[in-house]
Structure 1
C-alpha cells in the first residue's frame, strides 16, 4: 500500500475537478517540500481511483507511485525521450479519438512549428517483398507490412524519402487510419526482419524539415510534454507538473498555463504545477480566473489570498526577492511611511519590515536606498513627537 501524508495536502487539492479551469500552483524555495507534496498528492488521488499523470522536468523528482493508473514522463530518461514519447503517442493516436489528433496540431502551432510531423524510413531493403513472403509472420501481418512499405515508397519518391503527416488534414478520419501513423506500430518488426534500419522523425517550420534532435531544448521539452499529455489524458484526471520552466523561453513561460488550459480544458483535469518561475505565475494570474496559489515552507502549504498580477510584486511576495528598479517596491515603501506617519504602525514594526525587504534585495543601490528609508522613518517619528 502506498504511504502518503494527507495532513500536508491543502484541502483544495484533495477534491476531484468538476471544472474546465482547475489550475493550482505550488511555490516555495528549494527544500520547501514541493516535490514531496506532489508525490503525496499523486498517491492520494490514486487511492481515490483517479488517473494521475505526472511530468517531471527535473532529475530530482520524488514521484514513486506504482499503479496502472499512474502515468509519468521523466526528463531523466535521457536524449531519446522526445523520440520515444512521440513514437509511443503515435501508436496510441493511430487508433484513438480525433480530438487528440487535433491537439497535436494545436501543440505544434503553439510552439511555432507547422502542424506537420514527417518521417523518413532508413535503409529500406530492396528485397523487402521477397523477405516478407519468406518470413514467419502471419498472412495478415505480411499483407499489412507490404501495403505500408509500398505506400511509403510511392509517397517518398522524389521527396528525399521524407513523407509528411499533416495534422490539419481535412479528412481527419483518413488521418486517424493513416498508414504513416501505423508504421510506428510495426517499426520493431520491420527492423528485426532487417527490412528497414529505422525511422527518422522531423518537425516542420517555414517549409523546411528539421530533424527532431536538431530542435532546441525548449522546443523539445514542450513538444514532448504536450504530445505526451495529448496521448494519455482522460476526463477528470489529475495532472502534476514539476518545474515546467526548465529550458523554456520567457515567452513560453508566460503562456504556459494558459496554453495548457486551452489544449486540455474539455477533459476537466485538476492541474497542479510546482514552479520557481514568476513568469509562469504572472501569465497564469492574468489569463486564468480561478487560479489558486499555495506558498510552502517546511512542508506546509498555505493558500495565498491576495491577487497579484505584477511580476515585481510576485518576486517580492511569493519568492521573497526584491528586484532592482522595482515600481511595486516604491509604492510599498510610500504606503509604509504613510502608515508610520498616521501612527497605524510603530517605528519597530516599520524597521522590521524595511529590514526584511533589505535582506531579500540583491542590488547595492537598492540596499543603500533602504538605509535612507530607515533614516526617513526615524525622522517621521521625531517630527511627530
Structure 2
C-alpha cells in the first residue's frame, strides 16, 4: 500500500528478512526498467545480519540516485560499523539532491537533543602524499562549502561526532547511539519523494524508551519535510509496533497473514501487543486479566466449586506465570489459584 507504514512481524525464520530483501531487489529493478512509480530504494538494517543482495549493498560506494544502502555489509563476509556513515557522507558530498534548510534544522534539533553538536566530521585518508583534509557537515548552517580535493574517495575516511567538547569516532559510540543517529539522519537527508524505505529490525540495541520513539520521530521528520514515501519494517518489538498511529500503518504477521491489515495497536501497552500480535502472554495480557476477573467474580458469588471456575484456574495455570509478592496482582492471583476448589 503506497504511502503507508508497513509493519512486518512473525517468529524467527518466518521469512521477514527474506521478504525485505526481495522487495528491495524487485523495486530497484523496476525503477531501473522504468516500470515503477518509486524513484529510490533506501535500505537500512539494525542488525549486521541483513540479507540485502549484492545489487543493493554494492551501491554503498557510489552516490546512486536510485538506491541508498545504509547497512553494515562491505562484502559477502565482512561488516563495518562505520560503513553506513561513510555512505551517508558520500551522499552529502556527491548526492544530486542537496540538503535543504528544513532537513538540516531537523537534524540539528535531533542531534542536540541526543547530546551531540549538530555536525558530522569527515576526515579523508592520507595516501600517496595527499594532504589529509576534514569536511564538517554543520547542520545548523545553511551554507555548504565546496568539496575539498581530498575527497575523491570516501573509502577509509574517518567519521566523528562532537559531544561535551570531545570528538568521538563512530567506534566510540554505543550501538544504540549509532543506529539511532543513522536512522534519523537517513530520514533527514536520504529519503525523498517517491522513496521506498526498507528497515530490518529498527529496535536493535535500543533502550525501550528509544524503541518507542524511533519510528515516531522518523515519521515526524518525514511529515515535516513533506516527503511522500512508503516504509516497510520488520520487527520483534511491541514498543515499535505500538508507536505508529493506526491511520498511517498496516500490519502483516508471518506466516499466518496473507495480506496487510489495518493496525489497532497505537498507544496500547506492551503486554497487549505481546499477547495479541506476538502470542506472548504476561500477567497483564488482556486474556489473563479477563480470566482473573472472571475467577474473582465466581469467588464473590461463592461459586468456586463448579466446572467453570476450575476451567478458569486450569487456564491461568497453563500460562506458567510467576509474580513477585510485591506485584499488585499477586494477591488476586494467589486467591484464585489457591482457594478451595481451585487446588
The normalised TM-score by structure 1 is 0.63
Quote how far apart the aligned CAs of 1:275 are. 0.5
Which of these residues, 168, 189, 201, is aligned with residue 210 of structure 1?
Answer: 168
Quote how far apart the aligned CAs of 1:107 are. 4.4
- Residue range with higher mean Cα deviation, 274-283 or 95-104: 95-104
SS of the aligned residue for 1:292 comes to: strand
Cα distance in 2 for residues equivalent to 1:70 and 1:353: 56
**Structure 2 counterparts to residues 236-275 of structure 1, below 5 A:** 236-265=194-223, 266-275=226-235
Residue 94 of structure 2: aligned partner: 92
Residue 146 of structure 1: aligned partner: none
- Residue 202 to residue 316, structure 1, CA distance change in 2 (3 Å): same
Cα distance in 2 for residues equivalent to 1:78 and 1:297: 32
Residue 2 of structure 2: aligned partner: 16
Segments of 5+ residues of structure 1 without an aligned counterpart are: 1-14, 129-148, 153-161, 192-197, 380-385
- Residue range with higher mean Cα deviation, 367-376 or 288-297: 367-376
Q: In angstroms, what is the RMSD of aligned CA positions?
A: 4.3
Cα distance in 2 for residues equivalent to 1:58 and 1:353: 42
Which of these residues, 203, 222, 238, is aligned with residue 278 of structure 1?
Answer: 238
Whose RCO is larger (CA < 8 A, sep 6+)? 1
Matched length: 309
Q: Is the 8 A contact 1:33 1:299 kept in 2?
A: no
- Deviations 1:295-340 (CA, angstroms, capped at 9, x unpaired): 223574552654461111112111222235x274553224655999
Q: Is the 8 A contact 1:39 1:65 kept in 2?
A: no
Which of these residues, 250, 275, 283, is aligned with residue 316 of structure 1?
Answer: 275
Residue 138 of structure 2: aligned partner: 166
- Deviations 1:152-200 (CA, angstroms, capped at 9, x unpaired): 7xxxxxxxxx88543112xx1xx22x14xx23x6334799xxxxxx754
SS of the aligned residue for 1:87 comes to: helix
Residue 34 of structure 1: aligned partner: 16
Q: Is the 8 A contact 1:255 1:284 kept in 2?
A: no
- Residue 330 to residue 167, structure 1, CA distance change in 2 (3 Å): same
Q: Is the 8 A contact 2:69 2:84 kept in 1?
A: no
- Deviations 1:349-374 (CA, angstroms, capped at 9, x unpaired): x949974x755555377999879858
Q: Is the 8 A contact 1:53 1:72 kept in 2?
A: yes
Quote how far apart the aligned CAs of 1:276 are. 0.6
- Residue 353 to residue 29, structure 1, CA distance change in 2 (3 Å): farther
- Deviations 1:26-63 (CA, angstroms, capped at 9, x unpaired): 11111222223323433554435123222122344333
Higher helix content, 1 or 2: 1
Residue 156 of structure 1: aligned partner: none
Quote how far apart the aligned CAs of 1:85 are. 2.5
- Residue 190 to residue 320, structure 1, CA distance change in 2 (3 Å): closer
- Residue 65 to residue 120, structure 1, CA distance change in 2 (3 Å): closer
- Residue range with higher mean Cα deviation, 89-98 or 202-211: 89-98
Q: Is the 8 A contact 1:104 1:227 kept in 2?
A: yes
The normalised TM-score by structure 2 is 0.70
- Residue range with higher mean Cα deviation, 330-339 or 274-283: 330-339
1:78 and 2:80 are equivalent in the alignment = yes
- Deviations 1:46-103 (CA, angstroms, capped at 9, x unpaired): 4351232221223443333847744333234323324423431321369714244444
1:296 and 2:254 are equivalent in the alignment = yes
Residue 25 of structure 1: aligned partner: 7
Q: Is the 8 A contact 2:215 2:244 kept in 1?
A: yes
Cα distance in 2 for residues equivalent to 1:377 and 1:295: 41
